[in-house]
C-alpha cells in the first residue's frame, strides 16, 4: 500500500536481502517483484508499471531508483495549503490529482487509474483535459447551486411547518390525555358512589331484618314470663279451672316454641367482592392513550407503494400545447401518480408505467398539490381557491374553498387541515374554508 506512506514488502532470501513488491499491484493482491522505486510517488514499480510511469507526462520526468534504494522519511508536519489540498486525490489524500476519466466524469490520481479505471474508454492527463473538456460555470456550478439552495430553503420551510404542526399535535395529545384521565377519574368516582349507595342500602335492609327478628325474640321472652306468672297464680283456683288453664298454657307454649323454631336465627353479614377483571385491566394497561409517530400523513393508509426507478419520462397529453411544468406531485396507495401541470392548467393521472390515463382541465393555473385522503387530492389554484378532487376511474370535482393569495410555495394536509405556505405567512384552513390559524413571519 502507498496510502499514508506505507509499503508492501516481501522478504526473499537472507535476512539482509529484501525484495520489494510492486506497490500498485500489491494493492490488488498480486505479489510482483519491484525493479524500481519512485521517491516522488512513494511507489515500488514492476516492469509493466515502470512503462506506465514513464508514459504519462505527469510522471515521466520522475527519477527512478533501483529497488535497493533505502527509503527513509521522518514524519513531518503537513504544510499543505488549503489551495494545494484542493488538488489532492479524494481517495488517496497523499497524492496529487493527475488524470481525468471521461466515463466517470471525475479526476483521479495515477494509483486510482491503475487500480480501478483500466477498462475505462478514455482517460486524459489533467493538462489535456483542461484544454479539451468544455467548462460552463453557469450551467455546471451556479445554476445547480441556485436550484439546490431553493430546494433546501423550501425543505427548511416545510420542516418549520412540521414543527408548528408537531407543537399543535403535542398540545392536542396532552389535552386528550387530560380528558381521558378525567374520564377515568369521573367513571371511578361514579362507580365508587354507586358502590357506597349499594353498601348503605344493603346495610339498612339487613339492620332492619335483625331488629325485627330481635323484636320477635323479645316478645317471646315477654310471653314466656307472662305464662310463668300465671302458673304461680293458678294454685288458688279450683281443680277444674286449674286443669283448663294448664291445658291452655301448654298450647300457648307449643305455639311460642313453633314460632321460635321458625324464626330466622342466621347471622346477617355483609361481604365485598371486588371487580377483579376491571382492576386487572386497569393495572395491566400500558397507557390510557397511545401516542404514535409517523413519517406520512395520518390520513393515508399505510399501503405498499409501487416503486419504479427511471431516469426520465416524457409526460405529454394529446391536448397539451406547452411542455409539462410540474407544480405538485403525489402518489396514491395503489401506485397511481397525480401531478399538477401548471403550463397546461390541468391535473394528470399516471399509471405505474407513467402513462397518462386521465386529464382534468382546471380553470386556473395550479400552484400546489397535496394528498388529503386515500383517494382525494387538493390543488391550489392561482385564482385564490383550493379545489378538492376525488380520484376513482375518473377525476371528480368535490368542492372548492377560498384561500387568500393566488401564489403559494407549499401545500400540505395535516390532521384534516390544509396548511398553505407563503413566503412570510402560513394559513391553516379547515375543509370548509374557515381560517383556523395564522402564523406570520415564522418562516425565514
Residues paired with residue 10 on neighbouring β-strands, in sequence order: 19
C-alpha 179/C-alpha 176 separation (Å) is: 5
Tens digit of each residue's pLDDT (9 = 90 or more) over 8-32? 333 333 333 446 788 888 777 777 8
pLDDT tens digits along 191-212: 999 999 999 999 999 999 889 8
Q: What is the pLDDT of residue 441?
A: 55
440 pLDDT higher than 80? no
Neighbours of 426 (CB within 10 A): 22
Question: Nearest CA to 95 among 52, 43, 161?
Answer: 43
Could you tell me if 334 and 321 are in contact, meaning their C-beta atoms sit under 8 angstroms apart? no
Query: Which pLDDT value is given to residue 71?
Result: 45
- Average pLDDT over all residues of the chain: 80
Dump pLDDT digits (tens) for 137-183: 888 888 889 888 888 988 888 888 888 888 988 998 899 889 988 98
CATH architecture classification, 326-440: 6 Propeller (2.120)
Q: Following DSSP, what letter does each residue of 154-189 receive, concatenated? A: HHHHHHHHHHHHHHHHHHHHHHHHHHHHHHHHHHHH
Q: Are 410 and 154 in contact (CB under 8 A)?
A: yes
Mean pLDDT of 38-52: 84
**How many helices (H) and strands (E) are present in the chain, helices listed first?**
9, 20
- Classify residue 130 by burial, with Cβ atoms within 10 Å: 0-12, 13-18, 19+: exposed
Give yes or no for a contact between 403 and 425, defined as CB atoms under 8 angstroms apart.
no
Three-class DSSP category at 179: helix
For the chain, domain boundaries: 1-76, 166-277, 326-440
**283-302 confidence digits (pLDDT tens):** 888 777 777 776 654 444 44
* Cβ burial 340-368 (10 Å sphere, 16+ → b, else e): bbbebbbbbbbeeeeebebbbebeebbbb
Q: Comparing C-alpha atoms, which of 335, 397, 392, 421 is closest to residue 154? A: 421
Q: Are 100 and 109 in contact (CB under 8 A)?
A: no
- Give the residue carrying C-alpha cell 427548511: 156
Q: How far apart are the first and last CA of the chain?
A: 50
Amino acid at each position: 500500500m502507498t496510502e499514508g506512506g506505507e509499503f508492501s514488502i516481501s522478504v526473499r532470501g537472507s535476512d539482509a536481502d529484501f525484495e520489494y513488491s510492486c506497490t500498485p499491484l500489491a494493492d490488488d493482491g498480486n505479489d510482483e517483484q519491484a525493479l524500481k522505486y519512485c521517491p516522488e510517488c512513494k511507489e515500488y514499480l514492476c516492469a509493466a508499471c515502470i512503462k506506465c510511469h514513464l508514459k504519462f507526462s505527469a510522471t515521466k520526468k520522475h527519477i527512478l531508483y533501483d529497488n535497493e534504494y533505502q527509503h527513509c522519511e521522518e514524519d513531518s508536519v503537513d504544510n499543505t495549503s488549503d489551495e494545494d489540498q484542493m488538488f489532492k486525490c479524494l481517495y488517496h489524500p497523499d497524492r496529487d490529482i493527475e488524470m481525468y476519466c471521461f466515463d466517470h466524469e471525475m479526476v483521479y490520481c495515477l494509483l486510482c487509474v491503475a487500480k480501478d479505471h483500466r477498462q475505462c474508454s478514455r482517460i486524459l492527463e489533467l493538462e489535456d483535459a483542461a484544454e479539451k473538456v468544455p467548462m460552463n460555470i453557469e450551467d455546471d456550478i451556479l445554476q445547480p447551486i441556485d436550484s439546490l439552495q431553493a430546494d433546501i430553503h423550501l425543505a427548511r420551510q416545510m420542516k418549520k411547518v412540521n414543527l408548528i404542526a408537531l407543537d399543535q399535535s403535542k398540545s392536542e395529545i396532552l389535552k386528550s390525555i387530560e380528558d381521558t384521565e378525567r374520564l377515568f377519574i369521573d367513571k371511578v368516582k361514579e362507580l365508587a358512589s354507586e358502590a357506597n349507595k349499594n353498601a348503605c342500602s344493603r346495610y339498612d335492609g339487613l339492620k332492619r331484618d335483625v331488629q325485627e327478628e330481635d323484636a320477635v325474640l323479645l316478645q317471646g321472652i315477654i310471653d314466656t314470663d307472662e305464662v310463668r306468672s300465671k302458673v304461680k297464680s293458678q294454685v288458688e283456683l279450683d281443680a277444674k279451672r286449674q286443669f283448663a288453664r294448664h291445658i291452655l298454657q301448654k298450647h300457648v307454649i307449643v305455639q311460642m316454641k313453633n314460632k321460635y323454631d321458625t324464626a330466622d336465627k342466621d347471622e346477617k353479614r355483609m361481604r365485598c367482592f371486588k371487580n377483579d377483571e376491571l382492576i386487572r385491566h386497569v393495572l395491566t394497561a400500558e397507557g390510557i392513550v397511545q401516542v404514535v409517530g409517523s413519517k406520512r400523513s395520518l390520513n393515508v393508509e399505510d399501503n405498499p407503494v409501487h416503486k419504479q426507478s427511471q431516469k426520465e419520462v416524457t409526460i405529454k397529453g394529446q391536448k397539451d400545447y406547452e411542455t409539462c411544468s410540474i407544480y405538485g406531485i403525489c402518489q396514491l396507495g395503489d401506485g397511481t401518480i397525480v401531478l399538477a401541470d401548471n403550463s397546461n392548467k390541468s391535473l394528470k393521472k399516471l399509471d405505474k408505467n407513467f402513462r397518462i390515463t386521465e386529464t382534468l382541465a382546471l380553470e386556473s393555473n395550479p400552484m400546489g398539490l397535496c394528498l388529503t385522503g386515500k383517494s382525494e387530492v387538493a390543488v391550489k389554484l392561482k385564482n385564490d381557491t383550493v379545489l378538492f378532487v376525488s380520484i376513482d376511474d375518473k377525476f371528480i370535482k368535490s368542492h372548492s374553498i377560498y384561500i387568500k393569495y393566488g401564489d403559494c410555495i407549499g401545500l400540505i394536509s395535516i390532521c384534516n387541515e390544509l396548511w398553505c405556505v407563503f413566503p412570510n405567512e402560513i394559513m391553516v384552513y379547515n375543509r370548509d374554508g374557515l381560517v383556523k390559524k395564522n402564523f406570520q413571519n415564522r418562516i425565514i
